[in-house]
Structure 1
């Protein structure tokens, strides 16, 4: 979206093009990863996914929103967070802006777990308020089956928080930002964090993101694994974008 003028964006929107809004966060990621880990990964996934999907359907990428709902990280420092209601209003204002820009197909792509409830509710509310199509999902949900097939869980919980999975991704994207000398050999496990089926929530005060603010020791993380995970995610997400936009197009006459 950045490289286009207002006229180009307006024409694209009125012609039925879709726009993807990528959501991320600025928050602590243990002693070894940068605080913009989520923005780094989410931005890459969104760019690659939209690039691939753009071969099949008309779609643009909005600027990544780098601050999210991260109050459960504030006690560790190095975190900027919006409260849930403020975050919801920010997403609402973004959505309303895009509607006024002429977009009738708005897709939210999430890269931080704390954003998900507000994102889902906002996507629903926008579709109630306006004659538009909306969709919303987190990248790990879209790629869950594909990541399982390639054995991504070998490095730890997927996506976890600042563990083997995210560390592998940052090693692939910006290895100079990984403080490998601060990676411990072991980390206390908290099995209850991932208890239950996908979408279930189990929480404990002070440990919503695992012991010391991260979920697992990233001792098995490598850049090669990270590249494989990111490629797999982009393929899964781009496929979802294409299927979603095509389904919206088929239903245009129903609006």
Structure 2
């Protein structure tokens, strides 16, 4: 069920139900060579919808939140079509949406992330919320590539395969641009993927 289609009374009732899970897809709008600017968003929404369908067929009730379409894509800010949020805006948006659900009474919130660059900021936003979480609330960040156990890269064949699996006919082709370097030559490192245990 889509959250935006609920009445206020239905939303309150859903939040009070301990079997309710609220899923927030989060993506980005950035160049993907010859592919859609919203690739990461489309994947996040597709994965979230599939998760909702699966959960709804079990004993849970799943509510799809309106997607957060814009993310952190500063490295592609010079590429045509890219729209990136500032770090403070993005973290604040994540915190405020989750906080709104918690205020309503939601106990289970899942963020399905479709863009690698969003990961550390989502984690930081959730850590910021930890001190105000009710003791029985569960907030989960799911990076789709980690859940699938794949390394997708950017505009790669693996990412195209995920898009095709979701029903999109995508061919990224060759990129005519590269990530923007730092004007001062700085390099940014993020944590490597967690090792998978067999």
- Taking structure 2 as the reference length, what is the TM-score of the superposition? 0.79
Which one of 47, 50, 54 corresponds to residue 48 of structure 1?
50
| Alpha carbons 1:26, 1:36 under 8 Å: kept | yes
Deviations 1:88-140 (A, max 9, x none): 01111111211222212222111101110111122222232121321112011
Choose the corresponding residue for 1:81, options 73, 81, 84.
84
CA RMSD of aligned residues (A): 2.6
Cα distance, 1:77 vs structure 2: 2.3
1:183 deviation in Å? 2.4
Q: Which residue pairs with 2:159 in the alignment?
A: 166
SS in 2 for 1:75: coil
Deviations 1:171-207 (A, max 9, x none): 45232xx4x5x725xxxxxxxxxxx95259xxxxxxx
**Which residue number in structure 1 is paired with residue 9 of structure 2?**
7
Counterpart of 1:128 (choices 124, 131, 147) is: 131
2-side partners of 1:95 and 1:55: how far apart? 25
Give the alignment partner of residue 140 of structure 1, picking from 122, 141, 145. 145
Structure 1 SS opposite 2:78: helix
2:181 aligns with none
Which structure 2 residue ranges, 5 or more long, are not aligned? 175-190
CA positional deviation for 1:11:
0.3
- CA deviation string 1:9-45 (max 9, x = no partner): 1101112222111111100001x10101111111111
1:65 and 2:68 matched = yes
Q: Is the 8 A contact 1:127 1:133 kept in 2?
A: no
The structure with the larger Rg is 1
Q: Alignment length, in residue pairs?
A: 176
> Equivalents in 2 of 1:137, 1:170: separation in Å?
18
> Taking structure 1 as reference, are residues 54 and 74 closer, same or farther at Cα in structure 2, changes over 3 Å only?
same
Q: Which runs of 4+ in 1 moved over 4 A?
A: none
- Structure number with the higher helix fraction is 1
- Aligned mates of 1:63, 1:88 — CA distance in 2: 17
Rounded Cα–Cα distance in structure 2 between residues aligned with 1:41 and 1:15: 28
Per chain length, whose mean CA-contact separation is higher, i.e. which structure has more relative contact order (CA < 8 Å, sep 6+)?
Answer: 2
Q: Which residue is equivalent to 1:183?
A: 173
